[in-house]
Structure 1
């Protein structure tokens, strides 16, 4: 949020009680009373030392083939949870696409453009931010692409 404040980006903050351990994206959507289609999770993948960030709706699954193509890699794997904090500065359940240790290439699922605002983690468990998708893309250097699995 400090980064957004510095860039004078408008956002709303939501807090929720994480004391019950229910911190999945769908749980968070219910706790803040927002449709799950508007709440996005941040996933980090890698190919060796190259890391990539993907922001997708909480109820969707990342299509690793589409993700690899977007990143210009032959193959991507999810970053192990145990390595998340070392590379991003964030922990599972509180990983924000904004303010990682480095500016990794970032991709937001194109479904985000269907909404005036979307919700992403604010960087710690129990806090979310609502932001315009274009503002999120500007703050992270993200591209909008179709990166989720389809039924």
Structure 2
């Protein structure tokens, strides 16, 4: 069951959006620790179209960390992410490294308000939607915002980086 979350609940993501003056809506849900796919769980529990719910993934592109944001029902295309960032090779980052660099736990990694600013790429499918949903910085919290606002606050860019499973 979805519930409006108190935006002042204060994750680094909500604080960063508030400081930047970006409009967003925080939506909370009761996270099931047994859930295998955090993003799909969010879409289901919040009653949202999975095409509008995006997951945040960290990858190493030519040895440097980067953020790829793709719809939850799709996969990150590592070759496309590398190409979007001018790199040759990409591989998924170790979860422990992802947590340390972002300050968030896996399943709750937000692209916003990370401890270390990283190059960020949002799948171009996001432009089809007025608003999208991304993790709010903890499991059980998603944020609704305009894709252009997400890119503004993360200094990111659009690129075709998603592929079907």
Shared fold per TM-score greater than 0.5? yes
Residue 10 (structure 1) shift: 0.4
Residue 21 (structure 1) shift: 2.9
Structural mapping, 1:25-40, within 5 Å: 25-40=39-54
Counterpart residue number, 1:5: 18
Q: Structure 2 length as normaliser, TM-score?
A: 0.87
Farther-moved stretch of structure 1 (14-23 vs 51-60): 14-23
2:31 to 4, 13, 18: 18
* 1:78 has 2:97 as partner: no
Q: Structure 1 length as normaliser, TM-score?
A: 0.95
Q: Distance in 2 between matches of 1:121 and 1:16?
A: 12
Residue 57 (structure 1) shift: 0.2
Structure 2 unmatched ranges of 5 or more: 1-13
Aligned residues: 151
1:92 to 102, 106, 110: 106
Q: Distance in 1 between matches of 2:34 and 2:139?
A: 10
Q: Distance in 2 between matches of 1:38 and 1:16?
A: 17
Let me know the Cα RMSD of the aligned residues: 1.4
Q: Distance in 2 between matches of 1:72 and 1:37?
A: 27
1:129 to 143, 148, 161: 143
Q: Distance in 2 between matches of 1:100 and 1:14?
A: 19
